[in-house]
Amino acid sequence: MRMANLPWQSVGRVWSLALDFVYPAICAGCGIMTGSHRGLCGPCWSTIPFIERPYCEVLGIPFVHDQGEGAISPKAMASQPVFDRLRAVAVHRGIVRRLVHSLKYKDRTELAPMMATWMARAGAEELRKADAIIPVPLHRWRLFLRRYNQAAELSREIARQSGVTHLPRSLVRKRATKRQVGLGRKARLRNVEGAFEVPAENRDTVLGRRIILVDDVFTTGATVNAAARALKRAGALEVTVLTFAMAFAAPI
């Protein structure tokens, strides 16, 4: 039977089988064959250090013991962030670190839908109340060199899955900054100070709104604090940071 005479469902099935032959379904973590694309094998899945309650209501850092509803960690009390709260999928180590690195530096943008699905679950409560989703932007020269913004890849998928408005141009990085990797906390703060702004023509997209600010990984918080400060100055009502990974020493 000629391809032209096949029903569209059959054509799609043939095309899917052809793609599976050329690009077989493999685990996004270790590379072994799996039953579906954009997934993990059982052993890799079992090693993911998911962040679950109980955790600090502000920073999302997990507690060893339940501290009661609305508990805030000493770290959040000692240094209150500019953003209102943070939610993350998992601790930045092992397979989680590899996924972040692959998306960010190895052009593995096909990982974004899977990672975004987990992020949408981690931030489900805040997404239900959100008015818009905004990615942490790259400077235009960094974007030109890398060709894509990993935060925008994630935020676009989260918006598609949640139905929340995606505003990838409402926040811009007006000044080129050094890579944060390898910098100490104070150096990170200086590096991103004043680096973000909401252009005047975009302020009405932010004013009075609850914003979900998306990034791939949270470390010291310097970048998302600087971005949240720009959003708050433009009149954002709330800023919730949603990341795939969080780097910290241990539960408290």
The predicted-structure confidence for 213-231, as pLDDT tens digits, reads as follows 999 999 989 999 999 999 9
User: How much is the pTM?
Assistant: 0.85
Tokens of 242: 């949603």
Which two tokens mark 15?
């095309």
Residue that has been written with the tokens 């932007």 in this structure? 137
CA distance 28 to 45: 10
- Percentage of residues of the chain with pLDDT beyond 90: 60
C-alpha span between 186 and 190 (Å, rounded): 6
Question: What's residue 14's pLDDT?
Answer: 46
Which structural domains are found in the chain, ordered by start?
6-47 (no CATH), 49-246 (3.40.50.2020)
Q: What is the pLDDT of residues 2-49, one digit of tens each?
A: 445 545 445 445 444 444 544 567 788 887 877 665 678 889 899 999
pLDDT of 179 strictly over 80: no
150-162 vs 112-122: helix crossing angle, rounded to 10: 60
